[in-house]
Structure formats: structure tokens, C-alpha cells
Structure 1
Amino acid sequence: MLVKDVMRAPVVTVGPDWTLEDAFRLLLERGIRHLPVVAEGRLLGIITDRDIRLATSHLNPQGPCPGCAQVGEVMTEGVVTAHPLDPVEEAARVMRERKIGSLPVLEDGELVGIVTGIDLLDALLRLTGVTEPSGRLEVRLPDRPGELARLTGFLAGRGVNIHSLLSYPEDGDFVRAVVRVNTLETHLLAEGLRQEGFAVLWPPQKPW
């Protein structure tokens, strides 16, 4: 799955000469939290609802119109961006490492979309198959060639279709595989897997 599959487009933007009050009103009206700042087709920065709240809280409330300060005075410059063909997991890694909530998406220097943390959570739901009726299996496999094929071969032999399969390494020489399958009868599958020597972590074994 790529950024272009989950990004929001077209993008709601503001100019650097917008007032903070007008930008905040736009955020509320659109139900969003991030506004790329654009002038003459070029991305200059980004401003968030948090930026606006912090900026106005630091101004003298008795002073002349705190919300009349301009976006260009508060926005974050040097914006970290993504490309439409970036994998979603790379976008998630960048956002996590930089501790940011969104990535404007540029293609040939043009702003074509924006991806947020919520968009990446939606992508995770789709990747894990939980948006479709399915059952869940979690199996610990030895980290060696052929083990994942043995698991999928077992499921295929039972006529079970795999909706999604995610795996990640564990401490030691093991890999944990999380599989979404097209049946809710996962306890029966789990017992069959255990009889074949698989270490099934979910569903737990029933006390008979």
C-alpha cells in the first residue's frame, strides 16, 4: 500500500497572510488539524490547531486582536514531506521518528495530498484485514526458510483463504505471524495447527 492510496486530496490550504483567527475557523469548519501554507503554488510551511492555540495564548489578551497575527509568523517551515509512491510504512516511520502528525505529499514540487496519523491507522486496519469479517490466528514460527510456507500450506490444505498476513521478528530465533482468514472457526484451525506442531498463541487452547 502506497501513500497515494491513503492520502487526502484535494488539500485544504491557507496562505501566509491569513490571520490565525481565519485559519482556526477553517480548521473547525473542515474538521481537520493541519493546514499546509501555500503561496504561488509553492509549499512554504504548515500550521496546526495546536500551533494556533499556543501562539494566541502567548499573546497579550488585552492587546490588539491576538487572532489577527498572520499564519506566516507562526507556521513551521522546512516541512517534512512524502511522495505519492512512498510505502505507507515508510511514511509512518518518518512521522514516528520526527514526532509529527502529518506529511504533505509532493509530486514534482506540487502539493497533491496530505497524509495524517488517522490515515495511517486506517491503512493499518485495511492491511490487517479487520475491515472484513474474518478470524484471527497468531502463530510463533522458527525463523528459518520454509516455515511461513508450511503455515500457509496448512491453511490452503484446509480450504482456508488468507485475507492478510503480517509477521515480525521476536527475541530469539522466532517470528510471530498474525493471519486473518475467511472463517470464524479459528479454534478448530488452531487445534489442527497444534497437532501439526505449530506454536499457536491465538486463539488460546480451550480447556476440555
Structure 2
Amino acid sequence: MLVKDVMRAPVLSVGPEWTLEDAYKLLLERGIRHLPVVADGRLVGIITDRDIRLATSHLNPKGPCPGCTQVGEVMTKDVITAHPLDPVEEAARVMRERKIGSLPVLEDGSLVGIVTGIDLLDALLKLTGVTEPSGRLEVRLPDRPGELARLTGFLAGKGINIHSLLSYPEDGDFVRAVVRVNTLETHLLAEGLRQEGFEVIWPPKKPW
């Protein structure tokens, strides 16, 4: 799955000359938290609802138009961006490492979309197959060639269709495979897997 598959487009943006008050009203009206800032067709910054709240909290509420500060004075100028063809997991890694909540998406220098943490959560739900009726298996496998193929081969032999398959490494030369399958009878599948020597984490073994 790529950024272009989950990004929001077209993108709502503001200019650096906008006031914080007007930008905040737009955020509230549209139910969003991030606004790219564009000048002369070029991305020059990004501003969030948090930026606006922090900026206005330092202003004298009785002073002359506390919300009239311009976006360009508060926005983040060194914007971290993504490309439409970036993998979603790379976008997630960047956002996690940089501790940011969104990535404007640029293509040939033009702003074509924006991806947020919520968009990446939606992508995770699709990747795990949880949005479709399915059963879940979680199996601990030795980290060596052929083990994953052995698992999928067992399922294919039972006529089970795999909706999604994710794996991640564990300490001690093991990997954890999380599989979504087209049946809710996962306890029967789990018992069959155990009989074949697989270590099934989920569903747990029944006490009877």
C-alpha cells in the first residue's frame, strides 16, 4: 500500500497572510488539525490547531485583535513531506521518528495530498484485513526459510483463503505471523496446526 492510496486529496490549504483566527475557524469548520501553507503555488509551511492555540495563549486577550497574527509568523517552515509513491510504512516511520501528526504529499514540487496519523491507522486496518469478516490466527515460527511457506501450505491444503498475512521478528530467532483467514472456525484450525507442530499463540488452546 502506497501513500497515494490513503492520502487525502484535494488538500485544504491557507496562505501565510491568513490570520490565526481565520485559519482556526477553517480547522474547526472542516474538522481537521493540519493546514499546509502555500504561497505562489509552493508549499512554504504547515500549521496545526496546536500551533495556533500555543501562539494565541501568549497574547493579551484584551490587546488589539489577538487573533490577527498571521499564519506565516507561527507556521513550521521546514516541512517534512512524502511522495505519493512512498510506502505507507515508510510514512509511518518518518512520522513516528519525527513525532509529527501529518505529512504533506508533494509530486514534482506541487502539493497533491496530505496523510495523517488517522489515515495511517486506516491503512493498518486494511493491511490486517480486519475490515472484512474473517478469523485471526497468530503463529510463532522459527526464523528460517520455508516456515512461512509451510504455514500457508497447511492453510491452502484445508481450502482456507488468506485475507492478509503480516509478520514481524521476535527475539530468539523467531518470527510472529498474524494471519486473517476466510473462516471464523479458527479454534479448529489452531488445533490442526498444533497437531502439525506449529506453535499457535492465538486463538489460545481450549482447556477441554
Q: TM-score, normalised by structure 2?
A: 1.00
- 1:71-130 deviation per Cα after TM superposition (whole angstroms, max 9, x unaligned): 000000010000000000000000000000000000000000000000000000000000
Q: 2:173 & 2:95 partners in 1: Cα distance? A: 30
Question: Which secondary structure does the structure 1 equivalent of 2:191 belong to?
Answer: helix
Which region of structure 1 is more displaced relative to structure 2, 192-201 or 61-70?
61-70
Question: Which secondary structure does the structure 2 equivalent of 1:86 belong to?
Answer: coil
C-alpha deviation, 1:63, in angstroms: 1.1
Question: Which secondary structure does the structure 1 equivalent of 2:35 belong to?
Answer: strand
C-alpha deviation, 1:38, in angstroms: 0.2
Q: 2:39 & 2:123 partners in 1: Cα distance? A: 31
Q: TM-score, normalised by structure 1?
A: 1.00
Question: Which secondary structure does the structure 2 equivalent of 1:205 belong to?
Answer: coil
Q: 1:156 & 1:23 partners in 2: Cα distance? A: 54
- 1:49-90 deviation per Cα after TM superposition (whole angstroms, max 9, x unaligned): 000000000111121111010000000001000000000000
Query: How many residues of Structure 1 are paired with residues of Structure 2 in the alignment?
Result: 208
Q: 1:146 & 1:69 partners in 2: Cα distance? A: 62
Question: Which secondary structure does the structure 1 equivalent of 2:200 belong to?
Answer: strand
Question: Which secondary structure does the structure 1 equivalent of 2:106 belong to?
Answer: strand
Q: 2:196 & 2:31 partners in 1: Cα distance? A: 51
- 1:163-184 deviation per Cα after TM superposition (whole angstroms, max 9, x unaligned): 0000000010100000000000
Computed over aligned residues only, the root mean square deviation of the Cα atoms, in angstroms, reads: 0.4
For structure 2, the 5+ residue unaligned runs are none
C-alpha deviation, 1:26, in angstroms: 0.2
Question: Which secondary structure does the structure 2 equivalent of 1:23 belong to?
Answer: helix
Q: 2:161 & 2:40 partners in 1: Cα distance? A: 51
Q: 1:116 & 1:83 partners in 2: Cα distance? A: 14
Question: Which secondary structure does the structure 1 equivalent of 2:163 belong to?
Answer: strand
Q: 1:201 & 1:165 partners in 2: Cα distance? A: 15
